[in-house]
């Protein structure tokens, strides 16, 4: 597939000249194509320091000086300094010189422009909370272009992920090179998907500390956005929170492995109904659904697979290419149950215990389930389908009761979990969020009771080895990580996303091998 080769830019904001230079070297080492030197962030005594910075640059650069930044406004003579910096950048023929729309509109910049040789001018505007229609934005851009901009840049505040839709439309239709950047976590996909819609460049942060910006490392290693083009299909995980999701680390290399032109991004979604109303084009081709949307997701679909319908939770949505309809599936159920079954079979084989292969190793067993949300429902229906006796414990008893009734099981008060021991050799499955990052010191069950279980499964997969699993292993139980479930459900999602292409090329072993080069589970710095 031919990508549009979009440039990746690292914004640099350091106080000192040396700080700027060393950050530039690190940006280069991380694969940045250019840097934005935010000179207003520097506290320089003499303009000669800025000159030295520009002369010693090791990458093509954008030189910018924001008058409205809090840093700049603390200084005196801002306007004078700003014009001085911009003039210098033009004299030194820096690749891009960024000027705020306010500067080009209110100051006489003719004298400045006379210095220009081959520098391109970026005219930028910060839309401070202004909600703009597509038409209003279009008019603004025309005005910015007429004031001398070769490239236009807008910085938009984003309250909801749906606020980005007009930006994507604008990127597609704009006749002049356009950079759209956003403020806030919900704007992350503006940089990840911008190149698909024709964005001039994408920003990636060096440290990962700027909300709404992906890290340079993730843009280069995980998303490889330079391969993206207008035909790239968009997939993503719809969740809140979404930062913990490892889906991008798994699906993006998988797409490349099988030669499928797709990108998979984290989507921080507050209102799932509104999301599907706004992002209704064929470009947005498939979704994983996470906390807390799995139960509401079914209502957003045109059709729901019978298994997902009976579970009452949809964790995968695919837009059917032929008619654009949204089809809901549940891949959690088989993923979690087969992870448990395979671990039991492996242990039985290692112990030399002969068991019938056509009967599930959990048939007839007591299956103690903690949690009655989306993952809990998938596990309960899976366990029931294999002939296990299901006992449901959940913080909210009403939910436990409803689920137990649906699978002909029994709901028991959450406070009795630590004393529940009707027999030995039971299966324990945690499908509650207890123990998930950042609460890694928590466990839903006391250590003392874990000896009653032959196998303990934890759906939580961040961290990989939860406190519950560590204590279960110490008690002699088989410990099965949520990573096993995650990989299996993701593999099935991948098959649905790629219409079966994954069946030919991928299995759980190849997916494991994608994860380990990233140092799982310590790759949380890659977002
Ligand atoms: P969900 O639908 O939002 O359900 C959350 C469940 O956790 C509910 O049962 C809730 O109980 C319980 N819970 C939350 N905080 C609790 C607390 N402090 N004490 C006791 N119970 C608490 O979420 P979900 O999609 O089912 O996900 C649940 C967990 O499974 C998450 O950690 C998720 O990351 C993990 N998961 C893993 C995979 C995988 O592939 N490994 C797949 C799906 C989910 P109430 O009903 O009382 O609120």
Active-site residue (options: 294, 325, 365, 398): 294
| Residue to probe by mutation, ligand 1, list 395, 400, 469, 486, most atoms within 8 Å of CB | 395
Q: What is the pLDDT of residue 436?
A: 94
The 61-64 sheet, strands edge to edge: 178-183, 151-157, 120-127, 96-100, 61-64, 34-38, 7-12, 201-203
| Ligand 1 contacts CB of residue 460 (under 6 A) | yes
366-370 vs 262-268, strand pairing mode: unpaired
| Ligand 1 contacts CB of residue 192 (under 6 A) | no
Task: Name the closest-CA residue to atom 6, ligand 1.
Answer: 432
Closest CA to 155 of 174, 136, 128: 128
| Residue-level pLDDT, tens digit, the chain, 527 residues | 566 789 999 999 999 999 999 999 999 999 999 999 999 999 888 899 999 999 999 999 999 999 876 665 556 558 889 999 999 999 999 999 999 998 888 887 888 888 889 999 999 998 876 677 778 888 888 889 888 889 999 998 889 999 999 899 989 998 899 999 988 889 999 999 999 999 999 999 997 667 789 999 999 999 999 999 999 999 999 999 888 788 998 899 989 988 999 999 999 999 999 999 999 999 999 999 998 999 999 999 999 999 999 999 999 999 999 999 999 999 999 999 999 999 999 999 999 987 777 899 999 999 999 999 989 999 999 999 999 999 999 999 999 999 999 999 999 999 999 999 999 999 999 999 999 999 999 999 999 999 999 999 999 988 999 999 999 999 999 999 999 999 999 999 999 999 866 665 667 666 666 655 544 433 333 33
Closest CA to 388 of 449, 433, 344, 329: 344
CA-to-CA dists, residue 166 to 127, 177, 204, 305, 425, angstroms: 14, 16, 22, 33, 57
| Ligand 1 contacts CB of residue 393 (under 6 A) | no
Task: Name the closest-CA residue to atom 46, ligand 1.
Answer: 396
Q: What is the pLDDT of residue 518?
A: 47
Q: What is the pLDDT of residue 284?
A: 98
Q: What is the pLDDT of residue 523?
A: 36
Burial class (CB in 10 A: 0-12, 13-18, 19+), 116: middle
Measured torsion, CA atoms of residues 371, 375, 377, 380, in degrees rounded to the nearest 10: -80
Q: What is the pLDDT of residue 18?
A: 96
Q: Note whether 184 and 212 are within 8 A (CB).
A: yes
Q: How far is the CA of 78 from the centre of ligand 1 (A)?
A: 52
Q: Note whether 489 and 333 are within 8 A (CB).
A: no
Q: What is the rounded CA–CA span in Å between residue 246 and residue 236?
A: 11
Task: Name the closest-CA residue to atom 4, ligand 1.
Answer: 373
| HEC-encoded secondary structure of 408-455 | CCEECCHHHHHHCCCCCCEEEEECCCCCCCCCCCCCCCCHHHHHHEEE
Q: How far is the CA of 284 from the centre of ligand 1 (A)?
A: 27
Residue with the two structure tokens 């498939």: 286
Q: What is the pLDDT of residue 177?
A: 95
Closest CA to 473 of 457, 461, 487: 457
Q: How far is the CA of 432 from the centre of ligand 1 (A)?
A: 4
Q: How far is the CA of 268 from the centre of ligand 1 (A)?
A: 17
| Ligand 1 contacts CB of residue 245 (under 6 A) | no
Q: How far is the CA of 63 from the centre of ligand 1 (A)?
A: 47
| Ligand 1 contacts CB of residue 436 (under 6 A) | yes
The 453-458 sheet, strands edge to edge: 410-411, 389-393, 366-370, 426-430, 453-458, 478-480
| Ligand 1 contacts CB of residue 376 (under 6 A) | yes
| Residue to probe by mutation, ligand 1, list 294, 373, 380, 489, most atoms within 8 Å of CB | 373
Q: What is the rounded CA–CA span in Å between residue 293 and residue 287?
A: 12
Instruction: Provide the whole-model pTM.
Output: 0.88
Q: What is the rounded CA–CA span in Å between residue 180 and residue 402?
A: 47
| Ligand 1 contacts CB of residue 373 (under 6 A) | yes
Atom nearest to 332 CA in ligand 1? 42
Q: What is the pLDDT of residue 505?
A: 63
| Ligand 1 contacts CB of residue 237 (under 6 A) | no
Q: How far is the CA of 397 from the centre of ligand 1 (A)?
A: 14
Closest CA to 13 of 184, 188, 210, 219: 210
- Helix, strand, or coil here: 157? strand
Q: Rounded to the nearest 10 degrees, what angle do helices 482-497 and 247-258 cross at? A: 40
Atom nearest to 461 CA in ligand 1? 41
- 294 is a catalytic site residue: yes
Q: What is the rounded CA–CA span in Å between residue 466 and residue 439?
A: 10
| Ligand 1 contacts CB of residue 247 (under 6 A) | no
Q: Let me know how many helices (H) and strands (E) the chain has, helices first.
A: 21, 20
Q: What is the rounded CA–CA span in Å between residue 154 and residue 25?
A: 27
Vertex 338, ends 335 and 343: CA angle to 5°? 125
Q: What is the rounded CA–CA span in Å between residue 349 and residue 343?
A: 10
User: Other C-beta atoms within 10 Å of 340: how many?
Assistant: 27
DSSP assignment string, 163-219? GGHHHHHHHHH-SS-EEEEEESGGGHHHHHHTTTTT-SEEE-BSSS-STT--BHHII
Closest CA to 392 of 425, 443, 375: 375
| Ligand 1 contacts CB of residue 142 (under 6 A) | no
Q: Note whether 417 and 445 are within 8 A (CB).
A: yes
Atom nearest to 490 CA in ligand 1? 40
């Amino acid at each position: 597939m031919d990508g549009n080769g979009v440039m990746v830019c690292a914004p640099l904001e350091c106080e000192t000249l040396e700080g700027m230079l060393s950050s530039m070297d690190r940006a280069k080492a991380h694969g940045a194509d250019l840097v934005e030197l935010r000179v207003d962030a520097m506290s320089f005594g003499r303009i000669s320091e800025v000159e030295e910075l520009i002369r010693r640059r090791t990458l093509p650069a954008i030189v910018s000086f924001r008058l409205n930044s809090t840093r700049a406004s603390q200084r005196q003579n801002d306007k004078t300094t700003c014009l001085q910096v911009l003039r210098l950048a033009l004299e030194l023929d820096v690749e891009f010189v960024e000027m705020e729309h306010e500067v080009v509109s209110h100051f006489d910049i003719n004298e400045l422009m006379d210095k220009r040789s081959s520098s391109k001018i970026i005219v930028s505007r910060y839309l401070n909370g202004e909600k703009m229609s597509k038409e209003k934005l279009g008019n603004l851009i025309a005005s910015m272009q007429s004031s001398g901009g070769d490239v236009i840049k807008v910085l938009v505040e984003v309250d909801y992920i749906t606020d980005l839709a007009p930006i994507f439309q604008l990127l597609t239709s704009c006749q002049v090179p356009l950079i759209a950047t956003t403020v806030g976590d919900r704007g992350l996909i503006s940089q990840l998907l911008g190149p698909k819609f024709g964005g001039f460049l994408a920003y990636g942060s060096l440290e990962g500390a700027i909300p709404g910006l992906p890290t340079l490392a993730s843009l280069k290693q995980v998303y490889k956005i330079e391969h993206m083009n207008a035909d790239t299909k968009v997939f993503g995980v719809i969740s809140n929170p979404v930062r913990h999701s490892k889906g991008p680390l798994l699906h993006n290399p998988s797409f490349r492995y099988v030669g499928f032109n797709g990108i998979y991004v984290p989507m921080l979604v507050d209102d799932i109904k509104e999301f599907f109303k706004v992002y209704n084009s064929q470009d947005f081709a498939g979704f994983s659904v996470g906390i807390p949307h799995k139960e509401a997701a079914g209502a957003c679909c045109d059709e729901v697979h019978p298994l997902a319908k009976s579970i009452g939770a949809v964790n995968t949505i695919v837009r059917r290419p032929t008619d654009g309809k949204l089809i809901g599936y549940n891949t959690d159920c088989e993923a979690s149950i087969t992870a448990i079954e395979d671990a039991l079979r492996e242990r039985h084989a290692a112990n030399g215990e002969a068991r019938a292969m056509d009967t599930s190793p959990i048939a007839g067993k007591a299956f103690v389930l903690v949690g009655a949300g989306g993952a809990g429902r998938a596990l309960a229906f899976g366990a029931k389908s294999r002939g296990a006796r299901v006992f449901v414990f959940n913080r909210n008893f009403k939910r436990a009761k409803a689920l137990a009734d649906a699978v002909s099981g029994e709901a028991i008060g959450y406070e009795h979990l630590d004393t529940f021991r009707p027999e030995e050799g039971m299966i324990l499955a945690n499908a509650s969020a207890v123990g998930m990052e950042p609460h890694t010191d928590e466990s839903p069950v006391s250590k003392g009771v874990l000896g009653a279980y032959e196998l303990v499964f934890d759906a939580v997969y961040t961290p990989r080895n939860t406190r519950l699993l560590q204590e279960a292993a110490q008690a002699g139980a088989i410990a099965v990580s949520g990573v096993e479930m995650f990989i299996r459900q993701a593999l099935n999602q991948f098959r649905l996303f790629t219409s079966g292409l994954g069946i030919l090329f991928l299995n759980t072993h190849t997916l494991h091998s994608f994860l380990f080069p990233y140092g799982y589970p310590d790759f949380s710095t890659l977002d």
